[in-house]
Amino acid sequence: MTDKELLRHIRKAQAGDSEAFAFIYDAYSGKLFRYLRIKVQSQQQAEDLLQETLVKIWRGLPGFNPDKGTFNAWAYRVAANTLNDFLRKIYRVPEALEMSEGVEYAAAAWQAESPSQEKLLDLELSLAELKSKMTRLPVAYRLVLEYRFLQDLTVEETAELMSKSSLAIRLLQHRAVKKLKILNKQNHEDVQPKKISP
């Protein structure tokens, strides 16, 4: 779908055309579900959050202004805010969360859809290794890698979503990749057998 097509459907949906919104729903529900599924414990929670997100998008659509940013970044921001509200409720009533299940599901879905695993920045990492290493990165590094490479957002959309400049996102991305490479190298050195000198 081109940006022009998307904008045409957005304008129709803003005028109340439910068929135009159905087109937007179809285009974004899979992406937003994968984003949410990484963050929560169960598929059911992700499905509930997706429905809540899409309702908020429908209700908020009249206020969306394409001159102030991309729809992609706006939709992800709605999803992120919905997720944050949900997580605040959970932290008020704590429950044990097993995050790895969600990450594995989303990574598998991403891998199945993505034609190029080389998008993992020339790192020789499996998705399981990537997941493990990303938990050792600062939050900003994790977010920029997730938005850029797992969610496939542009630099500009990532900048809008993280409230940073495009230059700051490029720098963060560079540092995150560099840190991942260091972690990967350390991991390989730990696995290599040590030479014993005679």
Task: Compute the mean pLDDT over every residue in the chain, rounded to the nearest whole number.
Answer: 78
Q: Is the pLDDT of residue 136 over 80?
A: yes
Q: Is the pLDDT of residue 79 over 60?
A: yes
- pLDDT score at 81: 92
Query: Out of 1.10.760.10, 3.30.43.10, 3.40.50.11030, 1.10.10.10, which CATH number does the structure's domain 118-192 have?
Result: 1.10.10.10
Signed CA dihedral, 137, 143, 145, 146: sign only: positive
- pLDDT score at 92: 66
- pLDDT score at 128: 59
Q: Average of pLDDT values for 175-188? A: 80
Q: Is the pLDDT of residue 21 over 90?
A: yes
In this chain, the answer to whether the domains covering 1-113 and 118-192 adopt an identical fold is: no
The answer to pTM > 0.85 is no
- pLDDT score at 153: 85
Q: Is the pLDDT of residue 105 over 70?
A: no
CA distance 155 to 148: 7
- How many Cβ atoms sit within 10 Å of the Cβ of residue 58? 14
Q: Average of pLDDT values for 76-88? A: 91
CA distance 158 to 143: 9
- pLDDT score at 96: 40
Contact 29, 54 (CB under 8 A): yes
Q: 9 CB contacts (<8 Å, ≥6 apart)?
A: 20, 21, 23, 24
1-113: CATH topology? Rna Polymerase Sigma Factor; Chain: A (1.10.1740)
The closest of 26, 3, 34, 45 to 147, measured between CA atoms, is 34
Cα–Cα distances in Å, from 69 out to 42, 110, 159, 187, 194? 31, 25, 10, 40, 53
Q: Average of pLDDT values for 141-157? A: 85
Q: 58 CB contacts (<8 Å, ≥6 apart)?
A: 13, 21
Domain ranges of the chain: 1-113, 118-192
